[in-house]
Amino acid sequence: MKKRIIFCFFLSACIINIYAQQIKPAIPSDPNIEAQVEKTLSKMTLEEKIGQMCEITVDVITDVPKSKNGFKISDTKLDEVIGKYKVGSILNVPLSIAQTPEVWAQSICQINKKSMEAIQIPDIYGVDQMHGTTYTMGGTLFPQEINQASSFNRHIPFRVSEICAYETKAGLIPWVYAPVMDLGRQPAWSRMWESYGEDCYLNSEMAQQAVRGFQGENPNKIGPYNVAACLKHYMAYGVPNSGKDRTPSSVSDREMREKFFMPFMNAVRAGALSLMVNSSTNDGIPFHANKKFLTDWLKKGLNWDGMIVTDWADINNLCVRDHIVATKKDAIEIAINAGIDMSMVPYELSFCDDLKALVQEGRVSMDRIDDAVRRILRLKYRCNLFDTKTWDNPKKIIKNYPDFGSAKFAAEALKITEESEVLLKNTDNILPLARGKRILLTGPNSNTMRGLLGGWSYSWQGDKAEDCATKYNTIYEALCNKYGKDFVTLVEGVSYKKSGNWEDEDASQINEAVEAATNCDVIIACIGENSYAETPGNLTDLTLSKNQRELIKALAQTRKPVILILNEGRPRIIEEIEPLSKAVIDIMLPGNYGGDALANLLAGDANFSAKLPFTYPHKINAIATYDYKPCENMGQMDGNYNYDSVMDVQWMFGYGLSYTHYKYSNLKVDKSNFTADDNLTFNVDVTNTGERVGKEPVLLFIGDMVASITPDNIRLRGFEKIELQPGETKTVSIKIKGSDLAFVGADNKWILEKGRFYVKCGDQQIFINCTDTHKWESQNID
């Protein structure tokens, strides 16, 4: 009996192994790099290997003289961190504020010289460059990812990341913690704006482009103008049940694979070299302890040879926060065995001592350590960090980056920003707003760079923006430039307090704003949120602040037309005040060129072309996404009960207006009957019937009529953005595969079921028919 069990075990191990070998590597390996990795690994001691798995924040190695400004990387501290503990990676920005490329290059050279001297292995420095160069002073800051997604233009995340990589490398930083790929499906979440919105396909498409922009075309050869990307946060971080950051989600394996894993899979297959883990827990299991997700689904399931890093202190959190183990040492055992390769510790070097003891006690195997270290070394070789010449001449580096912070990048950023602000309402075509009108500009976001930029801008919370972004225009400055100073009166009415909590407001000027309105023709009210990031941005009420609502209500009483500009990281509920407005523009977090782009759009010098990448809620208890289930939207007569569960949203995902109009016609498909292997081409004619040139994102939605797992109402399956002159028609072709319409069934395997699907594009609708059920035996569709 015992023999039989051993044999069965052996057999299944062989099958799993053969299966793993059959999976095409997500990133093709480079034999030269592999040989170098093995050679280096073979010479390393256990302490050196463990040190490579440790990542420390830069605060641990800096001296900050009290009397003077600035900081110094301390040689003595480097002796401890790299000399003694052989630490392989440093992260974060010195002094918690953006540094010039010269300072970066100098610091990184100093660290790397030490590292090469002490352990003959370079350090890999990682930085959060989130919408452009968050932490490199003088670089280009673009709209946040939520804005980039609203463009529905794949070129935008590509170009933003490409420019960001170039400017990041001007300071010799080789590794960025981006793109963020959390599906922003919980609008209260304080990191909603860091994501590409609620849809998994849109996320997948945008993130793949970002990876290519950051890394260039060959992930084995990260060039001088590229950086390694780090996808984050793996996975389902964007759906905390409570809406608060780093709190539990409850996603089933089925939904996890279908919606949350899929974008990561595609970005990994696009060559992403590293990945950061979701800080939180799902169904009671912290992601940092989840071997199934880290090792089985990701590393083995995709045959991916990249590197997994934790988020900030998240191994410790398994003990001190999540209580799944009693000691920090036990936490390290669980996390490393689950598949973590590098721990963003970020302060406690005791990680190294504990991990060494765990190996000596046989609780973490040498094989696991070698696997982790191979992945780290591979990343360093891929980034060409062993080329020591790089660390010789920090002062000259910037000369190789003549476009750093250039007017050329600024011009691109402005155009990108114009494509990222969404027109949601335009009653009686009140917009564009002609010159010559007297404007009252009001609201707490009307004269602040902090509001336009949001978090991860010069500092983590974005709270240093007023000092760092002086050369850029607030909305007030941009409107004065556009309409003339004499035509713009600024009375904020409500303002954000300069110190204290990001939410704190001063509402003492409401009457003054109302008074000023009487002398104006139109009121532009810039409302929303001040900057924040992560847990400090947690909310208990998604409704826009009471002060700001009061301001709008008071202004509306003047009967002057009100234009609402929403400048916010998440859709704050405006149910009460939206009906009081003539027009609404959601500029979200548009960055340094947000004011200028808005002025161009308001004046009609540019046209709107963005659409919401999330569903804007109308009421607090009616949070929904566009891919809802049928029972979420039943009239009273549907089903066997009086459901009365209808979609009541302010604006649905994909909604957005323009100054021109588009007519859709002739939606056709080349195969109305299809199977999983078929390629389908949809063609639709789109005509610009208005008088202005415009860009239109053409969105292809497909819904499964009947499926064994209750089907989503509809799903975005393709999109293309086109430009049309007035009167011009273009035929837009969107190609998908039959297998793209599969879903994950009850047994956690992908399946495409026979039956009818409806296809929607603009106001056009057709049906297609799947003639053959196909089930995938492997976990992923290749």
Rounded Cα distance, 271 and 474, in Å: 38
Nearer to ligand BGC, 177 or 701 (CB): 177
Minimal distance in Å, beta carbon 452 to ligand BGC? 21
Q: Is 312 in the site for ligand BGC (CB under 6 A)?
A: yes
Crossing angle of the two packed helices 510-517 and 546-556, in degrees rounded to 10: 30
β-bridge partners, 132:
141
Q: What is the dihedral of CA 760, 764, 770, 776, to 10 degrees?
A: -20
Which of 177, 196, 409, 483 is in the footprint of ligand BGC by CB under 6 A? Answer: 177
CA distance 267 to 178: 12
689 CB burial (10 A radius; 0-12, 13-18, 19+): middle
SS (H, E, C) 119-176: HCCCCEEEECCCCECCCECCCCECCCHHHHHHCCCCHHHHHHHHHHHHHHHCCCCCEE
In the block, which residue shows the tokens 């233009």?
Answer: 153
Q: How many CA atoms lie within 13 A of 727 on its CB side?
A: 0
Q: Which is nearer to ligand BGC, 191 or 212 (CB)?
A: 191
SS (H, E, C) 663-707: EEEEEEECCCEECCCCEEEEEEEEEECCCCCEEEEEEEEEEECCC
Interface positions, 648-677, toward ligand BGC (CB under 6 A) = none
First vs last C-alpha separation in the chain? 39
Buried b (16+ CB within 10 A) or exposed e, 82-102: bbebbbbbbbbbbeeebbbbb
Read out DSSP for 265-285? HHHHHTT--EEEE-SSEETTE
The phi, psi pair for 277, rounded to 5°, reads -95, 145
Q: How far is the CB of 280 from ligand BGC (least distance, A)?
A: 10
Shortest CB 269 distance to ligand BGC, Å: 22
Specify whether the backbone of 35 is left (phi greater than 0), alpha (psi in -120 to 50) or beta.
alpha
* Binding letters toward ligand BGC, positions 233-272, x by CB under 6 A: ----------------------------------------
C-beta of 262 vs 344, nearer to ligand BGC: 344
CB of 232 to ligand BGC, least distance (A): 6
**Quick one: the chain helix, strand, coil %, rounded to 5?**
35, 20, 45
> Of 534, 550, 740, 772, which one interacts with ligand BGC (CB under 6 A)?
534
Residue 312 vs 682, nearer CB to ligand BGC: 312
Cβ closer to ligand BGC: 483 or 532?
532
The least distance separating ligand BGC from the CB of residue 533, rounded to whole angstroms, comes to 8
What minimum distance in Å lies between the beta carbon of 42 and ligand BGC?
32
Choose, by CB under 6 A, the member of 311, 322, 421, 696 that binds ligand BGC: 311
Does the protein bind ligand BGC through residue 232 (CB under 6 A)?
A: yes
Structure token digits, residue 619? 């009421």
Question: Tokens for 468?
Answer: 């760092």
Task: Pick the binder of ligand BGC from 48, 55, 123, 128 (CB under 6 A).
Answer: 128
Q: How many CA atoms lie within 13 A of 295 on its CB side?
A: 15
CA atoms of 504 and 467, how far apart (whole Å): 20
SS3 category, 506: strand
Q: Measure the CA–CA gap between 197 and 151, rounded to whole angstroms.
A: 11
Residue 758 region, left (φ>0) first, then alpha (ψ -120 to 50), else beta? beta
Nearer to ligand BGC, 403 or 534 (CB): 534
C-beta closer to ligand BGC: residue 275 or 602: 275
Which residues form the catalytic set?
311
Quote the tokens at residue 685.
């004619």
For residue 3, give every residue at least 6 positions away whose Cβ sits within 8 Å of its Cβ, in sequence order, or none.
Answer: none
713 vs 628: CA distance, rounded Å: 5
Q: Applying CB under 6 A, does 333 fall inside the site for ligand BGC?
A: no
Window 86-125: contact mask with ligand BGC (x via CB under 6 A) = ------x---------------------------------
Per CB under 6 A, 135 contacts ligand BGC: no
The CB-side HSE value for 89 (13 A sphere, CA atoms) comes to: 31
Bridging pattern class, strands 230-234 and 175-176: unpaired
> Residue 182 interacts with ligand BGC (CB under 6 A)?
no
Which residue, 160 or 752, has its beta carbon nearer to ligand BGC? 160
Question: Which residue's entry shows tokens 């001007």?
Answer: 170
- Cα–Cα dist 313/270, whole Å: 28
Nearer to ligand BGC, 234 or 608 (CB): 234
Q: Which is nearer to ligand BGC, 90 or 398 (CB)?
A: 90
Residues 6+ apart with CB under 8 A from 674: 680, 738, 768, 769, 770, 771
Retrieve residue 251's tokens.
């996603």
Angle at which helices 407-418 and 594-603 cross, to 10°: 50
Nearer to ligand BGC, 134 or 295 (CB): 134
Considering CB under 6 A, how many residues would be counted as binding ligand BGC?
A: 8
| CB closer to ligand BGC out of 104 and 177 | 177
Residue written as token pair 């393709």: 718
| Residues at the contact surface with ligand BGC, assessed by CB under 6 A | 92, 128, 177, 232, 279, 311-312, 534
